[in-house]
Structure 1
Amino acid sequence: MSTEQFDAVIVGAGFGGMGAAIQLNRLGYRNIAILDREDDLGGTWHVNRYPGLTVDVPSTTYSYWFEPNPYWSRLYAPGAELKSYAEHVADKYDLRRYMRFNTTVEGARWDEESQTWQVSLQGGQTLRAQFLILATGYLCQPKKPDIPGIEDFAGTVLHAQEWNDDYALRGRKAAIIGTGSTGVQLIPKLAEDVAELTVYQRTPIWVMPKFDLAFGPAAQRLFARFPVTQQLLRRSSDLFLDIMVTIAMWKFRQFRPVNTAAARIGALHRFLAIRDKELRRKLTPNYDFGCKRPTLSNVYYRTFNKPHVHLETAGIERIEPDGIVGRDGVKRAVDTLVLATGFDVWESNLPAIPVIGRQGRDLGKWWRENRFQAYEGMTVPMFPNMVTQASPYAWVGMSWFDTVEYQMRHMKRLFGELQRTGGRTFEVTEEANDRFLDRMLTLLDDSVFRLGDCTNSRSYWFNSSGEAPLFRPTSIRQAVKEQEHFPLTDYQIA
């Protein structure tokens, strides 16, 4: 079988992969392959189609700065509009020509002799590329719960990430496992249709009021005709989110009262929605605000006031063909089981595929044995010509686009230096990587992760060692600024 040669192979056709491809195009690279195991582009916004799906960051912020969308229907747009936005970006920047769907990447290995990456595909084909861009995202490996008897359930199982739109929920006796951000969006919608709904909660989540508003045709025309109006709105939402994340998460030592105030707002939100003290107690988080991603909803708490909605917090003992038995011995008859159990971020996703660098270094194994680390959240020693987007200390702010765009700036400067010097390979030095890791760990000393009470949060932000190396513990502004000033000598270019 012949081996195709590319300038770059990008693994993932979501917003991260598309952003990387746009930047590569700007740098003059045209021979690109964007590979995705799904049947269309959009990443998580293609895979997720469950009822109630919306973005939980203002849409004005949840988009590329260089490609604003004046046609959002709401401040918090529904998921279908994010999918449409992804299609618009792909069409405008002519990215579909690079995309190959239903293509599963089995692994990538650096070949020292040819100075290229060998990317192995399911089916036996191998692609060669000068550059490898891992754009698989943090939330691409759904977590299936390991509950005794789940395989023997005789009813219908619906996964939030594999939703069956043809299945009729009306009149069903349903149960949902999971009360993270997906569950918070799904539960009110399920309650509208099913005859009975049991919610199995392991960990309560911080749910805050949602200040949403519709953008009617007049507002959309205004944004389209006078882009500065939407830019002003975006600057406001950007600034608010950046300040709140910075002081509530990264400056916890100095601004602990902010977390306390946020917790009180959440408590008031619960109190106004639920008057049953015991129910309110069960829905109250017993960890500090900021330890786990909070979510926004004005209808989630009120859903539990409905007589056909039941909250179970004792845990699940086992699943039987016709129902679920709790650890308190109570069995509830169920014909539909909905799984909103989130994603496996650590065990099977960092990295999402086997990656072997110089001298046979296995990226996943090395991260687990030497701490999760990546220089500027992007590059790793011993892995030449590789950029990894969803990596340790990469995620900045709450909008994924903030991460993608600061990384695009880094690529512009790094690849530009490679072109200027006539080099073929770049590789971050061990010294630069160590220096960056030390700085991230020092910054985390002031964070809610180190100083707050996060013991009971069960947050996917923490790995099995109790560390929280997903986020870059700086403001977005700082992350962007550093891409213009990182020393180019931090890379060996040859």
Structure 2
Amino acid sequence: MDDVDTGPELLGPEELGFDPQVLRDRYRAERDRRLRPDGATQYIAPTGDFGYYVDDPYVTTGRDRAPLTDDVDVLVVGAGFGGLLAGARLRLAGVDSIRVVEKAGDVGGTWYWNRYPGVRCDIESYIYLPLLEEVGSVPEEKYARGDDIRKHAQAIAETFGLYRDACFQTEVTGMDWDEPAQRWRVTTDQGDAMTARYVIFSAGPFSRPKLPGIPGIDDFRGHTFHTSRWDYAYTGGDQTGGMHRLADKRVAVIGTGATAIQCVPALAQDAAHLYVFQRTPSAVDERGNRPTDPDWLRSLEPGWHRARRDNFLAVVDGQTTADDSVVDRWADPTRHLRDLLRELGDPSLSEQQRFRARELADFRKMNQIRDRVDAVVEDPDTAEALKPWYRYDCKRPTFSDEYLPAFNRPNVSLVDTGGRGVERITEHSLVSGGTEYEVDCIIFATGFEVGRTHPAFAGPRVHGRDGRPIAEHFRGGARTLHGFTSHGFPNLFCMGPSQNGVAVNFAHVLDDQAAHIAEVIAAAEKHGSGCVEPTAEAEQAWVDRIRREAPEMTVLAECTPGYLNNEGRPPARRETYAGNALDFAELLRRWRAGDGLSDVLAD
């Protein structure tokens, strides 16, 4: 699929039942017709009449309180799973003085904002939800609903006393290091002027909604909202459906990613007519949700949660010898690879041959996805438009047993834009392919800005030692040790996907990050320095390693445009740890057990 010479085919079309080169050519053609000159700038921030980012429709009380001027040991910015895990792991490490600052009205992060109908996690809830054993609960379903996930986030905050000093409806606006006091001075939009010994920044990758910059978007005179700010006052109903106020409404959904996959079936049931505007179809696999088996629940032994999470990442990462405990469609690419290696009968493949083997396994999986579309969708033209033509990892795979059947309903129309997106919006219509579609409501299922989890790129103004801005420190690229700390910015920890390990189960990654940060802070307190800052040499060594070993983006460059490859224009290399997330967690354990702490703790 890419332009690298990967050698001859391992199996021919007759043996495979398909021609790999035909698929490569089709994938490239589908990518090319979706490339846009504006790239990622095709999206705009929700401001003005589209102020979804500012407004919080779920808050029922005001945020009036006196500004705070007190001191805490640790201030955590963000109350999504990252911030909650940081607070919980610090509590388990014996830290008492912790304050969580969150701009929303409660904990939950993405799961606070996402309350659209049909919202669920797409990772098995037994491994996605963190701290299940510590909280003492197990989800009622294999794939938990959004409100149940939000309740679990609240249970974490309750269990670990994180509500006690929390500040909600509050956004951090600035952080300045006070060298004589050895404290961070933190200001907020509520007039607070707090101080903290340590700051943990956990803004999350899905905190800023984005809108498509469609010409005429400001001209529409009907109703609009973003899925992360679902307007039940307009639709009626709740997350389970029942949107009775749409019974006489023509509704348009823009976007066919993970959010639309979940909300479209409910809209299809309740709207007078639903138009789904598609630029690129998602790979939609079976979900197979089911209630939690009580016999399985009784069989669980202490330590089951970590073992199950680790097993999932090992299998999804392609470890063909690992047993599969989770048993869902996420593991299919690895199953196909294992079967293919068995067919080849020779495990001693070269690197190029293993690339070919993974590619062939991917083709088989995506053929399975496309065959499912034909089996479910009755109209041949609609079915053809819903087929994804790209590799499995090019876009986040989705899982639904209701999405594809929704297009068999007479009140549902797929508007395939041929990869170009909606052309323009008028006062009453959306225009695609020269055809106007008159609607009463537009719902933007267009996702969130990504890659802005670090305060160097977005968020509050941060000045470290000698007043140096962190954005200046990051000029020319990220500069961290392990993705968490930076030289010149003592006691500042940043969570998220930057120069560290990544995985599809990001909640697992965040838990490993939180545990590491808590142990480093505990070591600093025990050491008596109370100061964590990597040496310039340690930071540079990690930056050099990341840039030397970072995986090439060749395959992603061949992918259809999306947020994973910066709309078809990925950097030459991705500045993340070259191994998998389990390897990265082990690297951190060895670093802590060895003499690594000497690189961050002052004498």
TM-score by length of 1: 0.89
5+ long unaligned stretches in structure 1: none
Q: Counterpart of 1:12?
A: 78
Distance 2:194 2:315 in 1: 43
Q: Counterpart of 1:341?
A: 446
**What is the one-letter code of the residue matched to 2:404?**
Y
Q: Counterpart of 2:589?
A: 484
Between the aligned residues of both structures, percent identity stands at 28
Distance 1:212 1:193 in 2: 23
C-alpha deviation, 1:361, in angstroms? 3.6
Q: Secondary structure at the match of 2:540?
A: helix
Q: Secondary structure at the match of 2:437?
A: strand
Q: Identify which range, 189-198 or 236-245, moves more after superposition.
A: 236-245
C-alpha deviation, 1:471, in angstroms? 5.5
Q: Secondary structure at the match of 2:127?
A: coil
**1:396–1:154: structure 2 CA closer, same or farther, 3 Å change rule?**
same
Distance 1:308 1:4 in 2: 58
Q: Counterpart of 1:190?
A: 267
Contact in 1 for aligned 2:273/2:411 (Cα 8 Å):
yes
Contact in 1 for aligned 2:75/2:98 (Cα 8 Å):
yes
Q: Secondary structure at the match of 1:107?
A: strand
Aligned ranges 1:125-164 → 2 under 5 Å: 125-164=192-231
Q: Deviations over 1:201-242 (max 9, x none)?
A: 2222222222322226x45xx62x55429928x745642343
Determine if the alignment matches structure 1 residue 411 to structure 2 residue 521: no
Contact in 2 for aligned 1:385/1:425 (Cα 8 Å):
yes
Q: Counterpart of 2:486?
A: 380
Contact in 2 for aligned 1:377/1:472 (Cα 8 Å):
no
5+ long unaligned stretches in structure 2: 1-66, 235-244, 320-332, 335-350
Q: Counterpart of 1:436?
A: 542
Q: Identify which range, 305-314 or 130-139, moves more after superposition.
A: 305-314
- 359, 371, 393: which is aligned to 1:268? 371
- 288, 302, 326: which is aligned to 1:211? 288
Distance 1:120 1:410 in 2: 27
Distance 1:165 1:113 in 2: 51
Q: Counterpart of 2:464?
A: 357
C-alpha deviation, 1:103, in angstroms? 0.9
**What is the one-letter code of the residue matched to 1:362?**
P
Distance 2:214 2:472 in 1: 28
Determine if the alignment matches structure 1 residue 90 to structure 2 residue 157: yes
Distance 1:264 1:130 in 2: 54
**What is the one-letter code of the residue matched to 1:20?**
A
Cα RMSD over matched residues? Answer: 2.8
**1:179–1:392: structure 2 CA closer, same or farther, 3 Å change rule?**
same
Contact in 2 for aligned 1:10/1:134 (Cα 8 Å):
yes
Q: Counterpart of 1:243?
A: 315
**What is the one-letter code of the residue matched to 1:490?**
D
**1:331–1:464: structure 2 CA closer, same or farther, 3 Å change rule?**
closer
Contact in 2 for aligned 1:245/1:398 (Cα 8 Å):
no
Aligned ranges 1:443-454 → 2 under 5 Å: 443-445=549-551, 449-451=553-555, 454=558
Determine if the alignment matches structure 1 residue 120 to structure 2 residue 161: no
Q: Counterpart of 2:96?
A: 30
Q: Identify which range, 348-357 or 462-471, moves more after superposition.
A: 462-471
Determine if the alignment matches structure 1 residue 52 to structure 2 residue 161: no
Distance 1:373 1:280 in 2: 47
**What is the one-letter code of the residue matched to 1:96?**
Y
**1:229–1:95: structure 2 CA closer, same or farther, 3 Å change rule?**
closer
Contact in 2 for aligned 1:375/1:432 (Cα 8 Å):
yes
Distance 2:364 2:602 in 1: 49
Q: Counterpart of 2:57?
A: none
**1:83–1:63: structure 2 CA closer, same or farther, 3 Å change rule?**
same
C-alpha deviation, 1:36, in angstroms? 0.7
C-alpha deviation, 1:17, in angstroms? 1.0
Q: Deviations over 1:415-468 (max 9, x none)?
A: 2331232112111233333333444445543x6x43355442312464896137
Give the paired residue count.
484
Determine if the alignment matches structure 1 residue 63 to structure 2 residue 63: no
C-alpha deviation, 1:189, in angstroms? 1.3
Contact in 2 for aligned 1:69/1:85 (Cα 8 Å):
no
**What is the one-letter code of the residue matched to 2:470?**
L
**1:466–1:24: structure 2 CA closer, same or farther, 3 Å change rule?**
same
C-alpha deviation, 1:395, in angstroms? 5.5
Q: Deviations over 1:8-56 (max 9, x none)?
A: 1111112211111122223332222111111111111111110000001
Distance 1:348 1:318 in 2: 31
